[in-house]
Amino acid sequence: MKSETKNRILKAGARIMLEHGFNHTGLQEVLQAAEVPKGSFYFYFQSKEDFGLQCIGYYAENFFARADRFLQDPARPPLQRLRRFFSWLAEAFAKSHYKGG
């Protein structure tokens, strides 16, 4: 089970990396957004590369959990599930002003 602090770091990091990319994401920016001290980062992650890999896992886990709500809905036929899923994606991209992925 992930700690709340680690989740905050991953959530902030995933959001910033989606906007700026891995190479243009600074650890200080992530730590400020997560409101945690630098020591917390190195408690949970061996390096920036380790952090990047864990961010990918965090993002994928959350994305697929949300997608499953649409795609695994037994109350709807498959085509309707797909349409609802793509509508959700379109709304999410519009809400983020088409930034982040």
> Residue 101 falls within a domain, yes or no?
no
Q: What is the CATH number of the domain that holds 47?
A: 1.10.357.10
Residues 25/16, Cβ–Cβ less than 8 Å: yes
Is the pLDDT assigned to residue 99 strictly greater than 80?
no
> Residue 27 falls within a domain, yes or no?
yes
> Residue 34 falls within a domain, yes or no?
yes
pTM above 0.85, yes or no: no
For residue 73, count CB atoms less than 10 angstroms from its CB and return exposed for 0-12, middle for 13-18, buried for 19 or more. Answer: middle
Task: List, for residues 4-50, the tens digit of each pLDDT value.
Answer: 999 999 999 999 998 889 999 999 999 999 999 988 899 999 999 99
- The C-alpha atoms of residue 10 and residue 57 are separated, in whole angstroms, by 9
- The residue segments making up the domain with residue 84 are 4-95
Task: List, for residues 65-82, the tens digit of each pLDDT value.
Answer: 999 999 999 999 999 999
Task: Look up residue 19 and give its two tokens.
Answer: 């906007």
Count the residues in the chain: 101
> Residue 58 falls within a domain, yes or no?
yes
> Residue 100 falls within a domain, yes or no?
no
Q: How far is CA 16 from CA 50, 79, 97, in A?
A: 16, 34, 14
Domain count, the chain: 1
Is the pLDDT assigned to residue 1 strictly greater than 60?
no
